[in-house]
Structure 1
Amino acid sequence: MDRIKGDCPSPVQPGDAERTRMGEQDPELTVLGKAQEFFQICDLEGKGFVTRQDMQRLHPELPLSLEELEKVFVTLDADGNGSLTPKEFITGFSEFWKACETVCPVTYEETMTGDEDEEFQFSDLMDRLGATKVLDDETDVKQIWLQLRKEEPHLLSNFEEFLVRIFSQLKEADNEKNELEWALKKKIAAYDEEIQHLYEEMEQQIKKEKEQFLLKDTERFQSHSQELECKLLSKEQELEQLVQKQKRLEHQCTQLLSGKEETKVENTKLKLTNQELLRDLERTSHELSLAQQQLQVLQEEASRLHEEKEMEVYRVTEALQREKSGLLKQLDFLSHSFEEDDIFSNSKRKNSAGLNGVLSEEPNAGITGGMPKTSHLQRIISIEEDHLPHLLDRLVDKQLSRWTGEDENTFEAEMNNKAREQAVEHSSSSSREQPVGKETLSNEERINSVPERLFKIIFVGNSSVGKTSFLRRFCEDRFFPGTAATVGVDYNVRTVTVDHTQVALQLWDTAGQERYRSITKQFFRKADGVIVMYDITAKDTFTAVKQWLISIEEATGENVPVLLLGNKTDNEKEREVPMGMGDHLAKDYNLIFYECSAYSGYNVEKSVLHLARILKEHEDKVKEKTIELQSDTKKKSCCMRQ
């Protein structure tokens, strides 16, 4: 309403009179401006239309209640879609504002009347409009009416017409409300009448159902009584049958009592037979326990003989190892002696070439043991081939002819005999040194630290993957760059400590060439563990691992622990086999997997000790099962005696 005050001129202010003249010159713009102002007040969000809730925002601007504004919205919403477009809103208010031009002069003259007529005129207006029946409080309307009468009398008639329309709409709404209330009361009365009718029908139906239920209950009682009478008759018949059956049973009992003496005699005979059977069972149990004791003694004797055999093999292997190291040192000594002798240098070199030795010009003071820095002979000592025939011909010639045809037991017996002969032959040589890199114990320490376990481990893999270099790195902690290919089979021995237990590892180095595969497979049968090695810089060596695993499975026929090693990690730039491929293969075949470097020593000792620990645990489990089996056998024999 403040905006209405600003647009309509006041009769006492010159500025307002000027604006009044401007408004009279363009009345349509004034009407449109006022209508747009009211529309903008309602449409604050800028939706482009006005809803019922938006119409309630005119409550502070107009002297109408929320219900009256709702009725005004219904009047303006001609199409009944629940919203007012700007055109509908402005059209509805246009009729109110257009009457401003004709009524303003009259309203202005009426404002000149005295204040005593204002109350009478307002009361007369309210009576004509019938506002007393619609409005509870006329104060707000009266204030607006008086304000327009004093300040903007030309709008008073428009306001009165607006009130006439509003009150007429309110009356119509009130009439509609009364009609709806009357219709509702009529419907309620009809509904009550229908409910009463349904209630009476329900009472009649309940009464009828009750009578039918009583009738059915009576019939059911009679039928139940008849059933009980029939059951009583049947029970009497059953009782008569039971009496007769009891008489028959009494007669049978009399007959059984007469045959009781015969049963006692037969029972006595059965007891005697049972006693004889018990005596036979005790005698059989005693014989079985004696047989079990003899079997246990034989098993212990076999175990003792097996352990003695393993220790004998270990001692022979260790003696052979010392002999081989001594021969290596003698060979180095002889090579240096030959070089210092200018007269026999040419003949000695020819002899060395005849022995298949390879001379290396690289100085190595650590191998010569303090000799002058001259060239030394780098070679691989093999059981099949040695470059000093005058020292090892007796051992090698026989073995080469027998490896391909004889089994492993014959080979081991030959090895043991030759090892004993060489040990006796060289026992008097006081100048011979101990093997280099095998063990760091003296002779007295060797006697005091006899290994408790002995495991045979076979090295397999394609040629040139680094098996011999790995073996020397593990046993001697040194790397020999000029190592030649292994011919046949070579071996080394090293004693390690695994979980406070001295374990001797008999490490057999096999040749990787195809022509030695038949010899290599013979060593799988009594192997405690196998190490399969490939070269990470040569993919074909990794591809051959599966064939080696198949050969191991065919030869052993049992679950032998296998260690898969990927060698030459120091040559990472030329890697062809990713570490993930080796790990995946190890998981598929349940293998132990490491990548190592014989050159740098990376993972050399760690991987072998891991395999040794698994071999020890496997042997412990086998012994525990044997002990449990023997204890169970003893318990069963005791029970049988009882």
Structure 2
Amino acid sequence: MSAEEQDRLRCLFHVYDVDNSGRIERNEFLTICAELQVSVDEADRIFNRLDVDNDGTITLLEFISGFRYGEVMDSDGGDVSAAWENFERRLGEQAKFIPRTEEAATLYQNISLTEPRLINLFEKVITNFTKEIKQQNSEMENLALTIKRVQDQASMQLSEMDDEIDQRIHAAERKTREQEKKQTETALSELRRSYETEMCELQCVKRIVLTFLLFITHSYSSYLQENQRLKQELMKSQTEVACLRSEMDSLKTELTDQSIKIKINILYYIYIYSFCADRTANRKLHDSNDGLRSALERTSRVKLFGQRMDDFTLYSCRPSCDTLALAMCDPGLRHRHSSECEEDSLPEIYMDSGLSTLRGSHRGYDSEQEVKGQEEEEEKEKKGEDDNNDSLMGKNSDTEVFKRMTINPNQHTDLSYMTSEKAYRIVLAGDAAVGKSSFLLRLCKNEFKLNSSATLGVDFQMKTLIVDGEPVSLQLWDTAGQERFRSIAKSYFRRADGVLLLYDVTCEKSFLNVREWVDMIEDVSQEDIPIMLVGNKSDLRQDGASCVPTSYGEKLAMTYNTLFCETSAKDGSNILEAVLHLASRLLLMRKVTISRCPT
């Protein structure tokens, strides 16, 4: 077959190889034959001839070999058959030992057509196979004869051996039983010894493991204690830092107050100095006009003096506290000539002083000059009388202003009223999950969170309240309620000014632990600390939950001489009231302490 024909066969094979697997299966081949109008039987026969290895598929090599075999069969079919018959004659009697002669002949013909050079090898293989098969057949025949003779002898000896075998069996059984018994006893003793040895070894291992576990446990406990100690030291350090920051803020506030007071004192003394200088200049001016005032008529002086006294009464009746405020705002205001609207607006900026009487007198002087235009003859008399009245009212007003400044020179202290309060330390205590953090959140930010995390260590907030008309700054310390943080909470009770002791009205255990908390506070604190006993989560009482009665809380508060209140951080009821009551108690105790201290 030429190369061109082989290429055509390859192309034809790839055309019918639909899945490009390199093989044509039986179903695909039958489909191709149906398209070519080939019967099913003929298609099966052709497929079987092409499928040389009988694997159910046709490869490209089998496809090309089949066409080549077909051509050769057409031309040399007789030669191949003659070659196989010649090979059988050469084998002679061994030819009958060839298994599956037809398949071997077909394979011989295919090899002759495809690979003629393998024919000799194939013939050698067939010859060797036939020789071995023949030898095996002869051996099988000899073996069969031997077996038959042995069977005959055995049948003869069986009868003789039955009795002997029975006897031997009984003897062997007895001997076997004895041996098995001995072996069993020996095995049991060995097992017992091995078991005891293993037990000793296991006990040694157990002791070693226990020793190691004790060592690990001791090491772990020591490391855990060291870790807790370091955590406590860290929390204490953080708390001290927070306290130092708070004290630093307080010192900054005090420094600011002191600076404001110093500035006010400086302004006050500047005002006094300016006031005295102006009064001296005014006296000199009045002395220079005394000669003119004596020449005026008495009637005009009395009339004008009455008018000036009305103005003096109008402008000199300001409260004394306004005098200092005017000096603080602008000492130069005493040199100005202001209108009525300016005079009316002075109280809005906390200012008026005796100097307003001076402005009133000068204003009266100017208005009197306008009245003098009615009669030219009385102009000089009215002017002289006017100057005389100004001198009298100027002296009176100067004296009154100086008296006011002397009576209350420290009136500026009210301006720093809101920055001079003392900061009180209040600690929130109680068991875990009683609502301390929610209480603090509602107080400081007026918020409530359903899912709040547990406090680890200490939390800190600042809150300023007006208690009994006085501003009070509160430092609120939220401590953790877990048992492991009790030692941290004790350190805050030593420096606390007051305690908000909370319990959960729905948790009887937290109420019973109140006594333990109170004892802890009394043991740690050096002085009597005001305590506000707070029953939190009172809103759950309306939901029908099992709660601690209010009377129990009141009795417990009376027992320990503490304040009592029930609150709800969820709806905010009584939160501010509880803190205000505690802050009021703190203010009262401070006032009592101050009154007892020697002045």
- Scaled by the length of structure 2, the TM-score of the pair is 0.32
- Scaled by the length of structure 1, the TM-score of the pair is 0.30
